[in-house]
Amino acid sequence: MRIIRDYQFVDDKDRGATAAIGNFDGVHRGHLSVIELARSAAPDAPLGVLTFEPHPREYFAPQSPPFRLMGSEARASRLEKLGVDALFELPFNGNLASLTPHAFAQDVLHEGLGLSHVVVGADFCFGKGRLGTAADLQRAGAELGFGVTVAPLMQQDAQTVSSTAIRTALSDGQPGTAAAMLGHWHRIEGPVIGGEQRGRELGYPTANMSIDRLHPPAFGVYAVLIDVLEGPHKGSYHGAASLGVRPMFGENKANLETFIFDFKGDLYGTQLSVALVEYLRGEETFDGLEALITQMDSDCVRARKILGAL
């Protein structure tokens, strides 16, 4: 998959693409339907996805709490697995934010990227002040010469499948509900970072990962699936993970600590992808280390049983 970040300098082989447009945070089932519509709209054209980095919400409200379900690298990896040929990941900045809806359609979609067809969700808004609607885009496409398909919003259990609904499910400790809307397990991806090595001292060495800039799921312990994405230990594993601020030790910066079952090896700096499968319990403070270890033993027994049944 090729990644294009400047709409004013696009290679001829990437022009004429059909593209799904949106933020694609989480790449959930609603996003998949938009991408599949783009694929079927022009099967012989390159399949593209047009998105923005940073997320416009981050640009306009940089001090707001983290809300993203995935970072840009994880999003790109997911889109590549879906067979996307070109990811148009445009820098969202003052110049782009100031374009009127018609200027965005003309300067970016038509003249810049040279798209032949675009697909958007029914709730799509674009241009300065988010004043442009999907209907406005259809009118602009008819004028400028590119096709526009508007995808209906996907419903599940009388609820619209959306990144917002998925965040709510994760905050409520319901990763299974989130996975049903995503079409895949919610994953936290990134490098293994250094920790306090308390887990090693307790007999539970963990791979620690930052959740900075990501929406924090409910704090607590999860049964997890782990993919080691590189290096000599590359492969898939089962485990249990603690997500939170470690109140028993007085720490307050949230991260993810994953214990990989039946694993020995050094993973520092290695890229991991950890899927949250089932929420086992919330964060707790214990009377002492023995009580903590007993609970961790119980957590791992439960996690092995849950993951073994998948």
**Phi and psi of 226, rounded to 5°?**
-120, 130
Task: Map residue 111 onto helix, strand or coil.
Answer: helix
Dump pLDDT digits (tens) for 119-131.
Answer: 999 999 999 999 9
**Does residue 21 lie within any of the structural domains?**
yes
**Does residue 169 lie within any of the structural domains?**
no
Pair 144, 208 in one domain: no
Question: How much of the chain exceeds pLDDT 90, in percent?
Answer: 85
Residue 35, H or E segment: helix 29-41
Dump pLDDT digits (tens) for 257-282.
Answer: 999 999 999 999 999 999 999 999 99
Domain finish residue from 153, 171, 206: 153
Counted domains in the chain: 2
Dump pLDDT digits (tens) for 59-69.
Answer: 999 999 999 99
Is residue 3 a contact partner of residue 33, using CB atoms and an 8 Å limit? no
Radius of gyration of the chain (CA): 22
Dump pLDDT digits (tens) for 166-189.
Answer: 999 999 999 999 999 999 999 999
CA distances from 295 to 36, 168, 282, 287 (A): 45, 27, 12, 11
For the entire predicted model, the pTM comes to: 0.92
**Does residue 209 lie within any of the structural domains?**
yes
pLDDT at 248 over 70: no
Is residue 279 a contact partner of residue 218, using CB atoms and an 8 Å limit? yes
CATH number at residue 27: 3.40.50.620
Pair 118, 193 in one domain: no
Dump pLDDT digits (tens) for 69-113.
Answer: 999 999 999 999 999 999 999 999 999 999 999 999 999 999 999
**Domain containing 206: what range?**
185-308
Catalytic-labelled residue, pool 89, 189, 257, 278: 257
CA distances from 283 to 31, 248, 254 (A): 33, 9, 12
**Does residue 14 lie within any of the structural domains?**
yes
Greatest mean pLDDT among 237-241, 284-288, 289-293 lies in: 237-241
Pair 231, 102 in one domain: no
Domain finish residue from 138, 153, 168: 153
Pair 215, 291 in one domain: yes
Characterize the bridge pairing of strands 220-228 and 147-151: unpaired
**Res 251: pLDDT:** 64
**Does residue 175 lie within any of the structural domains?**
no
The question of whether 251 is a catalytic residue gets the answer: no
DSSP code of 214? Answer: B
Pair 239, 114 in one domain: no
**Does residue 247 lie within any of the structural domains?**
yes
CATH number at residue 252: 2.40.30.30
**Res 247: pLDDT:** 63
pLDDT at 250 over 80: no
Pair 201, 132 in one domain: no
Domain finish residue from 111, 132, 153: 153
**Res 275: pLDDT:** 98
Q: Report residue 251 CA to chain centroid gap.
A: 27
**Does residue 171 lie within any of the structural domains?**
no
